[in-house]
């Protein structure tokens, strides 16, 4: 902020030294070094603390510069405590900036004091002297302007000199002052950037599945390898369930050398498909394919293009998984050996976290002597998929690549394509995840999966949506992923799957599931030793029942319907936890205008739980003394409630209420 | 903070792009634009959040640059959550700056991974390859250095190449790495300034009195005009009562034109002394005197010099009141009419806040065309008093002069005299008071006088000492001033005078009183309509009983003794409020090592109050299960307490406990 320099070593050099001080400015991220994040239509509420010496009045303005070169200038009225406020609503994607500015309100100060002199019964002589004083000021303002333009100002000066007291208070004079006051001592803040993303960055439901598991089973009931065409046939159902973004693990050719077998076995059988994250393998024509190729067994690039077309037709966005690492068969291993790190004997270093070794994965050497070419090639990977219609990317382990790379790469890509969305898959320490969010990732995976108790969930959600973090960190809540299947969720079966789904989808406006196994809690097992699924699709092809009324599919469809219908569920900062005296039951309310949603979830999958819920209807704008209706969108039941104490009771068979509230 | 640029428009230009990110830095004020405030010996605890990609270890350092040109470099060990910590204790007055820096710990990362390879039972071939790798790194480090200097490093490379595994873990190699590692990717924070003031800026008791009221009464008992020599005779007593700073209202000649009479009457009688804040009047030789002169009726400059000498002898600091305004008789009115604002008829504008007029006061026009000369002259006022031995200034209404003036003036003065202390008398809005503190004022008057209830006191003290404000805003608590005598204090008489004195002196390490009337609650009256004293010394000469055992003098002496003896009372941030279920009783504890002070005050001057105090002795390091002693330094009584619940009872006759605690 352009506050006064702390250690001036000479008299201020301009004639007009600064009389106005910018004391505070919100919102702001690290002094303006990182952009605040908004999505289209989300307002930027700006509060600037300006002060000056003495009793002078200030005028303040908010100036917003938009990506298309247009500018919005808004007056900032004084609220209280020296705070001047205004808000603008970005209507365009990309980087907007705003500044605040203030100056001494010469006319307003004069008019206020003159009014008090009049009210105080001041002598005519003194009043006339003051009017002469103002007239002189107006003539000084008029001087540098073209005569014709300044004529109305001079006319006011003449009227004041002629003793016309009303002249000073006419709105036209205030308008002229707006134009002609030279704004001596104007102070302007540094520009504060605001990155405006598509709506899907702040409100979206993600659905992940493996395209190779999308085929129908064979006649023997065993899984058949699926292609992207099989996957495309599943999209209508994904849309029907109410999801917005369909996310595919990597679809590039998979390496053969050191290919992993079932359950991550170090040696794969000949017919095993390998892990999609081992990027770079052979194509049907014997050539090697890398990050921008599509595996032939998935149908190749043409099948992918058909997949995107079908998604477009349904209004679904396709999210691709970008994993910046290479299998030993990746074409760049031969073409650009410099892009990898080597041991003294000249062999390429595979990934390791001693004593663990990952011989199937070569990390890139971001500090290689040839790094500008490597970085440009990696950016090119995104560009290739963008050219094929992809706008959403899930980035694998971004925290093992330099922050400087991402800051550069994401900014470059967004400059051309401000509609891109990047989800950072960094299950790392808080400051690392925050740094990634600041440098450009639109969404972040979170610790939600491990926040199980009422207290942990409450504290974590409060940190995410009620702290400074909400200005840049946008959580994407996932109850499961191919890598993460929590013991508690496995043990908690269907009741806890329902509870955690409702939590993810209503606590966070952006959430996702690794769909097929989540839909069928009864058909999934946890790995014996790892916190992930057994028979893991990372290493083998599975088959799923894509239409199963006894699965969680109906629940998912219902919850996503309510999310779309209720504006209250489309944001995070309106979350407010409610008191209910039971450690196993969590309750919260969200409101946006007439949209009011109250959620109650039983965190104990093994027993009933209930209690007295304290909820004041007046806190969401309902009549405090009249009955109101709580419609449970999950069960279809409707309750008539009144007052602030309400009995709730949940069972393993019905672990959650998703109430929509309205005046009864 | 030098975080990565948000919108890079090209590949980073250096070969060594930044891999380390500075995520957080504390303490910091407005991004380093304003100095943090400390006093001599007060530590600066620095916490830097550094992160990097991947699994590499970091090294971090704190670099402090001192005013004398010396530098302290301290290692910052990792604490937790990516926070690296270190502290330095400034031992010199003036502006220190500190920076934090971090880089990839190449050797440490290697050694950690090598240890894990060893522990994991890695093959000899791979271990040897890693050792060769490190040896190559060491030889690369050695290359640019003089051969002889680098010889030990090369010797380690030879040992590693020869297969000596222990070599990698020797502390001498770590020390060599410290010297030779080129610290690729080093990141350094912006410098953060810390202004170090004398101890009296953070721990002091101020005593204000009017020198002209310091004479003994005449034979008829009526006040006699006192001089600075009379005032000097009172200093020994002020010191005896335990005060550190004696503060005098302005001592310059007082104007005659528009001189105010008793109770601020617009016309003074011929023999009335006028208000000392009407700066600038006639000297005995008929000349006019201004801001740097001493009124003849106070004994002139020689008497002031004797006063300062006596204060010096007693170890008291003299604080002068600097009021930047002029009476119509001020010499600058004739010499520099340009320094004042004028009406169109050429007359000088007096001060006003319409409809109120202050014809006895001309404000300076800080925006005058001749402002550089005015600003320099005003700075000269301080310089003249500094040359006469004054180091402490109480500045009258600084918020009615431009912030830019103060930022420049105070910085200039402190550059030459870093031992100066400035108290801002701005009873204004919060952000204005904060701005003055940021731009250089060492202490600030506060709202303490109007914070009367337990809740208000608790909230206000918490805001002052437990928020960000504590980094720059240093409160000076005054229960009364010549301008402020709160109705509640007037009504509450002696009991409330005791209570408010104990609160001011124990809540705040810096406090002050307008002494004579405070010592004699029974002899003072509140003005009928204004929130100030009747028979106000601002406008008339009074006489006081300077040695009165029945006054509050013994209490003041006792409290100041305890403040000096107990380190716990010499700081603010250690304040912790305690639970006691009585809205009229406030209780808090402060600890510094073995110094533990517990204060309980009855805020109701009209009745008894008590209750069960919840205080856990373990919270201040006393044995939770053994008895401890609470010695009331005010009554001399000693209690033996045990456990966490303690009965306290206070009466109007004994409105406060000032307990010193020790193990029983």
Whichever domain contains B415, its CATH number is 3.20.20.80
Within a domain: B207: yes
Using CA atoms, how far apart are residues B553 and B499, in angstroms rounded to an integer?
A: 14
Task: Specify whether the CB–CB gap between B271 and B244 falls below 8 A.
Answer: no
Asked whether residue A518 is domain-assigned, the answer is yes
Has residue B71 been placed in a domain?
A: yes
Q: What is the pLDDT of residue A185?
A: 76
- At B94-153, the pLDDT tens digits run 999 999 999 999 999 999 999 999 999 999 999 999 999 999 999 999 999 999 999 999
pLDDT in tens, B563-600: 999 999 999 999 999 999 999 999 999 999 999 999 99
Q: What does pLDDT average to over chain B?
A: 95
Question: Smallest Cβ distance to B53: which of A31, A402, A438?
Answer: A402
Q: What is the mean pLDDT of residues A610-614?
A: 95
Is A204 a member of any domain? yes
For residues B40 and B153, membership in a common domain is answered with no
The CA distance from A371 to A376, in Å, is: 8
Say if residues B418 and B38 touch (Cβ distance below 8 Å).
no
Q: Supply the DSSP symbol for B200.
A: G
Query: Is residue A47 in a domain?
Result: yes
Percent of chain A with pLDDT over 90: 93
Res. B379 pLDDT band, cuts 50 70 90: very high
pLDDT for res A17: 66
Q: Which of B457, B535, B476 is nearest to B207 (CA)?
A: B476
pLDDT greater than 70 at residue A9: no
How confident is the model over B178-208, as pLDDT tens digits? 999 999 778 999 999 999 999 999 999 999 9
Residues A41 and A59 in one domain: yes
From residue A5, alpha-carbon distances to A78, A86, B404, B405 in Å are 26, 27, 9, 12
| Contact criterion met (CB < 8 Å) for B4 and A136 | no
**Co-location of A190 and A212 in the same domain:** no
CB A517 within 8 A of CB A501: no
For A529-559, how does the pLDDT look when each residue is reduced to its tens digit (9 = 90+)?
999 999 999 999 999 999 999 999 999 999 9
pLDDT(B49) > 50: yes
Let me know how long chain A is.
664
Contacting residues of B for A114, CB less than 8 Å apart? 354
How would residue B11 be classed by pLDDT, with cut points 50, 70 and 90?
A: low
Q: What is the pLDDT of residues A290-346, one digit of tens each?
A: 999 999 999 999 999 999 999 999 999 999 999 999 999 999 999 999 999 999 889
Answer whether residue B295 shows pLDDT above 90: yes
Q: Indicate whether A71 and A219 sit together in one domain.
A: no
What is the structure's pLDDT at A30?
Answer: 86
| Confidence at residue A33, expressed as pLDDT on a 0 to 100 scale | 85
**Measured in Å, how far apart are chain B's first and last C-alpha atoms?**
50
Do A483 and A609 sit in the same domain of this protein? no
Domain membership flag for residue A4: no
pLDDT at B31: 83
Instruction: State how far residue B521 is from chain A, nearest Cα, in angstroms.
Output: 35
The whole-angstrom distance between B274's CA and the closest CA on chain A is 25
Q: Considering B511, B540, B565, which residue would you say is the last residue of a domain?
A: B565
Q: Are residues B500 and B357 in the same domain?
A: yes
Unique residue bearing structure tokens 């892990």: A275
pLDDT at A224 > cutoff 70: yes
Active centre residues of B (catalytic): 396, 425
B399/A53 touch (CB, cutoff 8 Å), yes or no: yes
**Residue B1 pLDDT greater than 60, yes or no:** no
Q: Are A187 and A202 in contact (CB under 8 A)?
A: no
Inter-chain CB proximity B129 and A344 less than 8 Å: yes
Residue B632 in this model has a pLDDT that exceeds 70 = yes
Instruction: Say which CATH number the domain at A581 has.
Output: 2.60.40.1180
How confident is the model at residue A11, as a pLDDT?
54
Q: Reply yes or no on whether the pLDDT at B315 is more than 80.
A: yes
Q: Which of B535, B565, B595 is the last residue of a domain?
A: B565
Cβ(A660)–Cβ(A596) below 8 Å: yes
pTM of the model: 0.93
Query: Do B559 and B634 share a domain, yes or no?
Result: no
So what's the pLDDT on residue A258? 96
Which chain A residues have a beta carbon less than 8 Å from that of B432? Answer: 51, 82
- B631 shares a domain with B496: no
d(CA A351, CA A325) in angstroms, rounded, equals 9
Q: Is the pLDDT of residue A219 over 50?
A: yes
Judgement on whether residues B493 and B600 belong to the same structural domain of the protein: no
pLDDT (mean) for B275-294: 97
Domain of residue A68, CATH code: 2.60.40.10
- Measured in angstroms, the CA of B416 and the nearest CA of chain A are apart by 12
Q: What distance in Å separates the CA atoms of residue B367 and residue A19, rounded to the nearest whole number?
A: 10
Residues 6+ apart with CB under 8 A from B213: B223, B226, B516, B537, B541, B542, B543, B544
CA distance B379 to B617: 52
Evaluate whether residue B392 is within a structural domain: yes
* pLDDT bucket at B8, cuts 50 / 70 / 90: very low
In percent, how much of chain B has pLDDT > 90? 93
- Domain shared by A504 and A472, yes or no: yes
Taking Cα atoms as reference points, which of B420, B361, B382, B365 lies closest to residue A53?
A: B365
Give the whole-number percent of chain A exceeding pLDDT 70: 97
C-alpha–C-alpha distance, residues B399 and A55, integer Å? 9
The dihedrals phi and psi of A451, each to the nearest 5 degrees, come to -100, 95
- Judge if B537 and B400 occupy the same domain: yes
Residue with tokens 């598991």: A213
B173 and B291 assigned to the same domain = no
Evaluate whether residue A260 is within a structural domain: yes
Domain range holding A639?
A: 576-663
> At A563, is the pLDDT very low, low, confident or very high (cuts 50, 70, 90)?
very high
Last residue of a domain, one of B129, B147, B180: B180
> Which of B21, B135, B409 to mutate to probe the A interface, most A CBs <10 Å?
B21
SS3 A282: strand
pLDDT confidence bin for A6, thresholds 50/70/90:
very low
- Give the tens place of pLDDT for each residue, B437-475: 999 999 999 999 999 999 999 999 999 999 999 999 999
**What digits encode the pLDDT tens for the residues B525-564?**
999 999 999 999 999 999 999 999 999 999 999 999 999 9
Number of structural domains (chain A) is 4
């Amino acid at each position: 902020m352009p506050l006064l320099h702390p250690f001036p070593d000479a008299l201020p050099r301009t004639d007009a030294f600064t009389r106005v001080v910018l004391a505070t400015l919100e919102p702001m991220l690290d002094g303006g070094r990182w952009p605040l994040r908004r999505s289209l239509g989300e307002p930027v509420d700006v509060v600037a603390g300006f002060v000056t010496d003495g009793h002078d009045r200030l005028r303040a303005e908010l100036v917003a510069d938009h990506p298309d070169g247009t500018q919005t200038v808004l007056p900032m009225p004084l609220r209280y405590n020296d705070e001047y406020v205004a808000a603008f609503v970005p209507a365009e994607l990309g980087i907007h900036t705003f500044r605040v500015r203030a100056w001494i309100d010469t006319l307003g100060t004069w008019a206020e004091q003159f009014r008090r002199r009049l009210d105080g019964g001041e002598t005519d002589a003194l009043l006339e002297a003051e009017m002469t004083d103002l007239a002189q000021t107006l003539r000084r303002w008029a001087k540098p302007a073209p005569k014709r333009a300044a004529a109305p100002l001079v006319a006011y000066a003449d009227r004041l000199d002629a003793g016309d007291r009303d002249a000073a208070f006419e709105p036209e004079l205030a308008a002229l002052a707006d134009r002609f006051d030279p704004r001596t001592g104007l102070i302007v803040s540094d520009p504060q950037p605001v990155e405006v993303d598509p709506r899907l960055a702040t409100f979206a439901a993600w659905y992940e599945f493996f395209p190779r598991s999308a085929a129908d089973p064979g006649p023997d009931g065993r899984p058949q390898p699926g292609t992207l065409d099989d996957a495309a046939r599943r999209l209508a159902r994904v849309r029907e369930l109410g999801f917005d973004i369909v996310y595919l693990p990597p679809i590039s050719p998979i390496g053969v050398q050191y290919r992993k077998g079932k359950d991550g076995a170090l040696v794969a059988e000949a017919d095993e498909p390998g892990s999609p994250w081992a990027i770079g393998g052979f194509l049907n024509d014997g050539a090697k394919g890398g990050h921008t190729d599509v595996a032939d067994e998935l149908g190749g690039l043409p099948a992918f293009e058909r997949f995107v077309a079908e998604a477009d037709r349904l209004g679904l966005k396709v999210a691709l998984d970008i994993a910046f690492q290479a299998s030993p068969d990746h074409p760049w291993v031969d073409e650009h050996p410099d892009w990898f790190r080597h041991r003294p004997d000249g062999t390429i270093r595979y990934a390791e976290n001693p004593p663990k070794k990952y011989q199937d994965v070569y990390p890139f050497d971001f500090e290689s002597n040839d790094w500008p070419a490597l970085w440009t090639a990696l950016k090119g990977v995104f560009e290739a998929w963008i050219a094929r219609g992809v706008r959403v990317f899930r980035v694998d382990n971004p925290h093992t690549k330099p922050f400087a790379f991402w800051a550069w790469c994401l900014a470059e890509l967004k400059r051309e394509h401000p509609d891109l969305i990047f989800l950072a898959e960094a299950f790392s320490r808080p400051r690392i995840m925050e740094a990634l969010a600041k440098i450009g990732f639109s969404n972040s995976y979170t610790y939600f999966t491990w926040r199980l108790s009422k207290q942990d969930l409450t504290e974590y959600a409060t940190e995410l949506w009620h702290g400074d973090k909400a200005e840049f960190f946008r959580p994407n809540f996932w109850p499961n992923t191919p890598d993460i299947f929590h013991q508690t969720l496995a043990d908690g079966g269907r009741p806890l799957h329902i509870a955690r789904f409702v939590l993810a989808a209503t606590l966070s406006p952006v959430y996702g599931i690794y769909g097929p196994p989540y839909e069928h809690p009864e058909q999934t097992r946890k790995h014996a030793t790892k916190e992930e699924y057994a028979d893991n699709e990372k290493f083998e092809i599975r088959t799923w029942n894509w239409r199963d009324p006894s699965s969680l599919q109906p629940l998912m469809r219902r919850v996503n319907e309510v999310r779309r219908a209720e504006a209250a569920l489309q944001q995070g900062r309106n979350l407010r936890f409610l008191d209910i005296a039971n450690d196993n039951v969590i309750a919260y309310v969200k409101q946006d205008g007439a949209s009011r949603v109250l959620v109650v979830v039983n965190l104990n999958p093994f027993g009933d739980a209930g209690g007295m819920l304290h909820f004041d209807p007046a806190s969401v704008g309902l009549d405090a003394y009249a009955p109101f209706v709580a419609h449970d969108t999950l069960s279809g039941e409707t309750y008539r409630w009144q007052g602030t104490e309400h009995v709730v009771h949940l069972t393993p068979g019905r672990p959650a209420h998703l109430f929509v509230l309205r005046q009864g």
